[in-house]
Structure 1
Amino acid sequence: MLDAAVHCFWSRGYEATSVRDLIESTGLTGASIYNAFGDKRAFYRKALAHYVQGSIADRIRRCEGMAPRAAIGAFFAEILTRSLSDEEHKGCMLVNAALEVTPLDAAFNGDVADVLARIEAFFLGRVAAGQADGTITSSLTAEDLARHLLGVLMGVRVLARVRPERATLEGVIGGAFALLDGGADRAA
């Protein structure tokens, strides 16, 4: 039921999704939705949390145990695959929520900011470990590189909605990896 709600909100967006859409996609009655979640907003928050757990948190868990550079590579390889195989060009539900809902809702803003902080913390941990083992440059601070990787991730997921072209997305990601290596000359 939550998977169906995620797909409904993700493909239409929060504002364009009606309670009727949710009834049709989940098979729940309107009364069941209101009894279980209170309202559409609360249902959306629950669906977004479900998406984060099944997608972002799961990806972080799988990558955390890898070698630092491999972890970042695997993370972005999965993002690239998801972005290129998304025939509906939905992008990332978290990014969509950040753009559509958080400017108007402080609670959603907090939810999204918390997830972005978790992603940044994953990058920071992997970059710091890579700097310690010499596989990632120390020419920039681990914090700056982690912030840059977060920005690259957000950019790739936004580009995937409007320009889901392999060369474009790989170029953006490749530039980030050149930076991890200490610059474009070393990456070549």
Structure 2
Amino acid sequence: MARTREFDTEAAVSRAMELFWSRGYEATSVRDLTQHLGIGQGSLYAAFGDKDGLYQAALEHYRSTLAAEALDTLRSGADARSAIRTMLVERVRLAVADAGRGCLAVNAACERLPSDAATRRTVRDMQDASRDALAEVLRIAVERGELTSEQDPDTLAAFLVTFLNGLLVSSKITPDARALEPLVEVALAALR
């Protein structure tokens, strides 16, 4: 008779996400995970396969929660500049929290690529979703007359995602929102 799982896997994934986010993949051992989650090693392997399986689940959780919130913020803005500013500033503030833990997706890209194809796919999907959401906001802004149509919305969106990635890496080096937030205004100057 198979034993029933004695822990909440969703809560475990959320807690693992926090641990991976603050420490990184390589610096987080299976022992660290089992202690932090309050589960046995056998339970971790039964539920997630291995450390990498739990890491992939943590990245997916990040994508469906925090990354999704950023896209919702972007889509709910009154005007394009304000919506993009709010999204970028919120991402900076989240990244500088906890002594500059950065962004889990960007951290994953810096730490795990190019050798980890699953992480590459997940991070690329998050990047693509951000770029697509930004392009949609920019196209609507052009239709409303908020922006001129002289620049391609897809190219501008790709620039903003690239800028955000760099900003999030910088947040690990300089975990100070007051130092990083003025850079958002420089990026917004590209929106005409």
| TM-score normalised to structure 1 length | 0.89
User: Mean Cα displacement is larger for which, 169-178 or 44-53?
Assistant: 169-178
In structure 2, give the amino acid aligned to 1:72: I
Instruction: Identify the range of structure 1 (133-142 vs 36-45) with the bigger mean alpha-carbon deviation.
Output: 133-142
Greater length-normalized contact order (CA 8 Å, ≥ 6 residues apart): 2
Q: How many residue pairs end up in the alignment? A: 180
Q: Match of 1:82?
A: 94
Residue segments in structure 1 that go unaligned for 5+ positions in a row: 183-188
Consecutive unaligned residues in structure 2, runs of 5 or more: 1-11
2:32 partner SS: helix
- Of 163, 169, 173, which residue of structure 2 is paired with 1:152? 163
In 1, Cα distance between equivalents of 2:103 and 2:87: 14
The percent identity for this pair of structures is 34
Secondary structure of 1:54's match? helix
- Determine the C-alpha separation between the residues in 1 that align with 2:53 and 2:157: 31
Q: What is the aligned counterpart of 1:102 among 113, 121, 139?
A: 113
Check whether the contact 1:124–1:143 (CA below 8 A) recurs between aligned residues. Answer: yes
* Matched ranges for 1:158-169 at <5 A: 158-169=169-180
Is residue 89–residue 181 contact of structure 2 (8 Å, CA) maintained in 1?
A: no
Deviation at 1:83, TM superposition (A): 3.1
Residues 152 and 172, structure 1, Cα contact 8 Å, conserved in 2: no
> C-alpha offsets along residues 119-141 of structure 1, whole Å, 9 cap, x if unaligned?
00011001111111121232311
| Cα RMSD after superposing both structures | 1.5
Q: Report the residue type matching 1:123 in the other structure.
A: L
Could you tell me which amino acid in structure 2 is paired with residue 126 of structure 1?
V
Q: Secondary structure at the match of 2:163?
A: helix
